[in-house]
Amino acid sequence: MTSFITAANTQKAQQVSHDTRRLKLISGTSNPLLAKEIASYIGISNVPLVAKRFADGELYIQIQQSIRGCDVFLIQPTCAPVNDSLMELMIMVDACKRASARQITAVIPYYGYARADRKTAGRESITAKLTANLLVSSGVDRVLAMDLHSAQIQGYFDIPCDHIYGSPVLVDYLSTKQLEDIVVVSPDVGGVARARAFAKQMKDAPLAIIDKRRSAHNVAESLTVIGEVNDKTAILIDDMIDTGGTICAGAQLLRQQGAKRVIACASHAVFSPPAYERLSVTGLFEQVVVTNSIPVQKKNHFKQLKVLSVANMLGEAILRIHEESSVSSMFR
């Protein structure tokens, strides 16, 4: 597989030919450092924005530059505090509509409320669909999302939705570590498709599955491993790490089954308490590799943590959407 980072750097050298006069990037307050990296890759600056609160907590947004007739990309992961982040994004969309933007694309590196993507019991809300409805109603023309919790969420939008993956960035990093005897492990049956695709990118590494059952929300009980992991380098792959219960229970089981090394990989570092205490346990993980789709607070950094940037990948996707070229070909 051709390294995405290498390909991205090659394309960056050719960006002098890109017409970005009508391309505008606007960052919300959720992840301004990622937005700055994306702007650097594209070769432009983020549009200045005033974001503040009134005394009662209401959000106020004002765009500080004309965007009339422009192709506007709003960079805002809807991470914690998820309600504020989502509301801020919708207010930004409304401001852009009223400023006569030609097209508004919501760039959502992490899509909050995604885990409630179907009804598993009576009288539940499907908040992944509700959130999509809210964004469409606010005036978004297109969505660019990364590693949605389930592929079906892409179909919840009644507008174009480009879904990209953080796996090439993770694979590029792991390929530099010269790992041997690799087995890619899905922490549950629901993540098998993700793990299988990841294993294919890892030179068709073998696949193992952890049979996991939940007794309650955020409570995982790992029962057994389906596949051979003894004396292997096990790479646990998931879309997100929240409290760390699932990934840590899986790692403990892999250690018990004889795995010599365990590396956890995930696109989204949600890291809700007590994730730090669980993930930083000595001897459990050799490394925990995540991306900067969500900003990782300093208090959640630990020795085994490695944070990779997805800015180049998102920047390339933004350029392709702006130029009306293929986004999916980035991953072939």
- The one-letter code for the residue type at 321 is I
Q: Pick the catalytic residue from 12, 129, 212, 232.
A: 212
Select from 8, 81, 7 the least CA-distant residue to 42: 8
Q: How far apart are CA 181 and CA 194, in angstroms?
A: 20
Give the single-character DSSP code of 152.
G
Give the single-character DSSP code of 17.
G
Give the single-character DSSP code of 176.
T
Assigned token pair, 152? 């079906």
Q: Residue 177 catalytic?
A: no
Q: Are strands 59-63 and 49-53 parallel, antiparallel or unpaired?
A: antiparallel
Select from 277, 279, 236 the least CA-distant residue to 254: 236
Helix (H, G, I), strand (E, B) or coil at 267: strand
Q: How far apart are CA 324 and CA 262, in angstroms?
A: 41
Q: Where are the alpha helices (DSSP H) in the chain?
A: 4-13, 32-42, 82-98, 127-138, 167-175, 192-201, 245-256, 275-279, 311-322
Question: Which residues are designated catalytic?
Answer: 212
